[in-house]
Amino acid sequence: MNARGSGSAGARRYGIGALVAMLVVGGCGKQGVDWSAPENFVLSESSARKDEGVALEYESLVDAPPDGVYQALADVEHYPDFIPGVDQVQLLETKGDTKTVFIAQRVIGRQSSAKVVWTLDPGKRRVSFTTVQSNLSYNDGSYEIEGSPSGTRSLVRSHFLVREADQTPVPIGVLATATREAFLAAARGVRERAVKIAAAR
């Protein structure tokens, strides 16, 4: 790490070693999905150091239709209604297929405030985001949703790149572990929201 980093090397190694989590490595989907398997938010996961941060990949098998999952993930303005830890979202701008928001959420016991640009692609059922300003950490990533042949279940591939912020640096291993915990909480909230969206049709 350069001047952006902080904390002991041992703490970083510990935090990164504790990462084993999130969605599936992209290769799993290519090899075929067992759509009859039980729901599993951490069907597969991987982590690797990259660009002064940590790249995390997860694959989740979710008991909800793909369109509902996409709509829940794209409904950024209402994240406080169904994603634990998200306290406030303020829509700053909508332009074409992008939404720029201010988002406040609790991360590792701290209040994190960030300006994030979300890009929506309903045709591919893909939602991506880029953090442009943050007081705690920078987290860029994407969600890609694949539907089962029956249309009743979803495979969600999640990708994250987590980096420390300059102002309030936190050891990258701690941020990565916190990202995993937030991912699991969000996955449950998104599933519940997606089921409600499907039922309302």
* pLDDT at residue 15, rounded to an integer: 40
Instruction: With cut-offs at 50, 70 and 90, classify the pLDDT of residue 135.
Output: confident
* pLDDT at residue 168, rounded to an integer: 61
For the structural domain made of 41-199, what CATH number should be given?
Answer: 3.30.530.20
Instruction: With cut-offs at 50, 70 and 90, classify the pLDDT of residue 167.
Output: low
* pLDDT at residue 110, rounded to an integer: 76
What mean pLDDT, rounded, does the chain reach? 84
Structure tokens at 98: 């992008």
Which residue ranges make up each domain of the chain?
A: 41-199
* pLDDT at residue 4, rounded to an integer: 36
Contacts of 150 (CB under 8 A, 6+ apart): 35
Contacts of 65 (CB under 8 A, 6+ apart): 147, 151, 152, 153, 154, 194, 198
Residues 93-99 have a mean pLDDT of 97
Model confidence at 153: pLDDT above 60: yes
Q: Within a 10 A sphere around the Cβ of 196, how many other Cβ atoms? A: 13
Evaluate whether 19 touches 50 at the Cβ level (below 8 Å). no
